[in-house]
Amino acid sequence: MEKERIGFISTRFAGTDGVSLEAAKWAKVFEEDGHEVFWYAGRINRPDEISFCVPEAHFEHPEIIWLNKRIWGTTKRSRFVTDRIRSISHYLKDSLHQFVHKFDISLLVIENAVTIPMNLPLGVALAEFLLEIELPAIAHHHDFYWERSRFSVNSVNDYLEMAFPPKDTELYHTVINKNAADDLAWRKGSSSTLVPNVIDFIEDDPNENIDAVKMKKELGFEEDDIIFLQPTRVVPRKGIEHAIRLISMLKNDKIKLCISHDSGDEGFDYEYMLRETANREQVDMRFVNTKVGEERKISPSGDTTYSLWDVYAIADLVTYPSLYEGFGNAFLEAIYYRKPLLVNRYDIFMRDIEPKGFQAITIDGYVTNYTVEQVERLLKNPEKIKKMTDTNYDLGKKYYSYDVLRRKLRLILNSIRGE
C-alpha cells in the first residue's frame, strides 16, 4: 500500500472536544497503516516537529472573536468587516501553503473547518486553497452550520455557500450520521461516506489500575456517594438541566452530579443557569474540570490531575440528556467503560444507534416518574447493570471499533487513488 504524508487541518487539536478526539483516532489508524501524520491548527498539543500552529486559525483568536460579533445575528455587514474576512483568509491561505510545503503533504484531512463556521476566514481560506493545489482532501464533517440555530441569522451567506463545505472535485466528504449525509446531498448536491465515531475496544478492564476510592476523595466526594457523571462540555445542547431534574426527583442526598468538562466555547450563561437550577432544586452539582485534563498527571507537590477517561471509574450512572448530537462520543465512552446510561432520545440516537440494540434508560425530552422508577430499580440491581453493559460493550465492538474505522479509511484511500 502506498504510504501518505497526511496533513490534518482544524481550528484546534487540543482538549477533549469531539473533533480533537476523533481526529486523534483517525490519525492513530492511519499511523498503524504506515502513513505519517502532521497537524495544522490555531491550538495544537502535538509535538512541534509535526505541528504547524497558526493562532489566527483558532476560533478564540481576538480577530475571530471580533469578526464573529459582527457577522452573526445580523443580516448586513460593513465593508470593513468584508475586508477583514478577506485579509485574514488570505493570511491563513498563505500559511496553509507553507504547511503543505514544509511537510511535503500528499493528502489533507479537514476536521470540521469547512463544516461549521467557528472560524469563517479559515473555511474561506481552505475553499480557495483547495482550488490552488493539486492534492486530494477528505472533509471530516462533524456538525454542519445549518444544524445550529445560532448561525441561522447572519451576514455571510455568500461565504457559507462558497466554503461550508466547498465544492471541489478532489474533496471527499465523510459524515458521522445518516441525517448529515441526507442534508449534504440535498443542500450541496454532494455525496458522502458515513464514517461513525469509534472507540478502541482493546482492553477488558480499562480502569483496573485506578483507585476509585482515592479518586473520589480527591475530587471531593465521599466514599458512599452515588456519582451521576455528565461527561460533556457545558453548552446548551447537552441538556444538563434534565440530569439536575432527575436527581431532584430521586430525592437521595447521596447522589451527586459530576460534570467533567468546562464552559466557554459558547459563553458562560448556560453554566450560570445550571448553577441556579441546581441550587433551587437542592441538587449537589460538582464541576471537576480543574482536576480533570487530557491525561493523568501528578504535580511535583503530589496533586493528581485525572484524565476524562479515569473519571468513568467512579460513575454509577452516565447521564447523556443531549438535545442534539452529531453522533455521541460520551455514549460510546460509557459503553466502553461498561457504565449504565440515561439518554435523551436525540435524533441521531434514534436513527443511527438505538436500532442496533443498545440498552439504556431513555427519555423523550423530559424526565417522568417512570424514569425515576427505572433509575432506582437499576441502581439496586447489579446483575441487571452487568447484563446491560456487557450487551452494549459487545454491540459497540461490533459497530464502532477501530476495525470499522480502518476498513472505512482504507476504502476511501482506495477510492482517492482510483483503485
Domains of the chain: 5-198+402-416 (3.40.50.2000), 212-399 (3.40.50.2000)
C-alpha cell at 408: 472505512
- 54-113 pLDDT, tens digit each: 999 999 999 999 999 999 999 999 999 999 999 999 999 999 999 999 999 999 999 999
pLDDT-derived band of residue 264, with 50, 70 and 90 as boundaries?
Answer: low
Q: What is the pLDDT of residue 1?
A: 63
Query: What backbone phi and psi angles, to 5 degrees, belong to 95?
Result: -70, -35
Banded model confidence at residue 213, pLDDT cuts 50, 70, 90: confident
Per the CB < 8 A criterion, the answer to whether 17 and 261 are in contact is no
Query: What percentage of residues in the chain have a pLDDT greater than 90?
Result: 79
DSSP helix/strand/coil, 303: coil
Instruction: Give the single-character DSSP code of 49.
Output: G
CB neighbours of 215 closer than 8 A, spacing ≥ 6?
304, 306, 310, 311, 313, 314
Please report the pLDDT score of residue 15 as a whole number: 79
Is the pLDDT at 394 greater than 90? The verdict is yes
299-339: pLDDT as tens digits: 777 777 888 888 999 999 999 999 988 888 889 999 999 99
Residue 190 has pLDDT above 80, yes or no: yes
Mean pLDDT value across residues 179-191: 95
Question: Is the torsion defined by CA of 115, 117, 119, 120 positive or negative?
Answer: positive
pLDDT of residue 266: 67
Residue 265 has pLDDT above 80, yes or no: no
Share of residues in the chain with pLDDT > 70 (%): 97
How does pLDDT run across 225-239, given as a tens digit for each residue? 999 999 988 989 899
CA distances to 77, 261, 280, 334 from 337, rounded to whole Å, are: 48, 18, 32, 5
DSSP-assigned beta bridge partners for residue 111 = 140
Number of Cβ atoms within 10 Å of the Cβ of 109: 22
Q: Identify whether the C-beta of residue 142 lies closer than 8 Å to the C-beta of residue 113.
A: no
Residue 194 grid coordinates: 458515513
Q: How far is CA 11 from CA 41, 80, 105, 115, in A?
A: 5, 24, 18, 11
pLDDT value at residue 212:
85
Secondary structure letter of residue 374 according to DSSP: H
Residue 202, pLDDT > 80, answer no
Query: What's 206's DSSP letter?
Result: T
Q: What angle do CA 268, 271, 273 make, to 5 degrees?
A: 110
Average pLDDT along the chain: 93
Cα distances (Å, whole numbers) of residue 128 to 67, 93, 99, 231, 290: 20, 8, 15, 37, 40
Q: Is the peptide bond before 165 cis (omega within 30 degrees of 0)?
A: yes
Q: What is the mean pLDDT of residues 207-228?
A: 87
Q: Which of 181-185, 206-210, 386-390 has the lowest mean pLDDT?
A: 206-210
Q: How far apart are CA 158 and CA 279, in angstroms?
A: 45
Helices (H) and strands (E) in the chain, counts: 15, 18
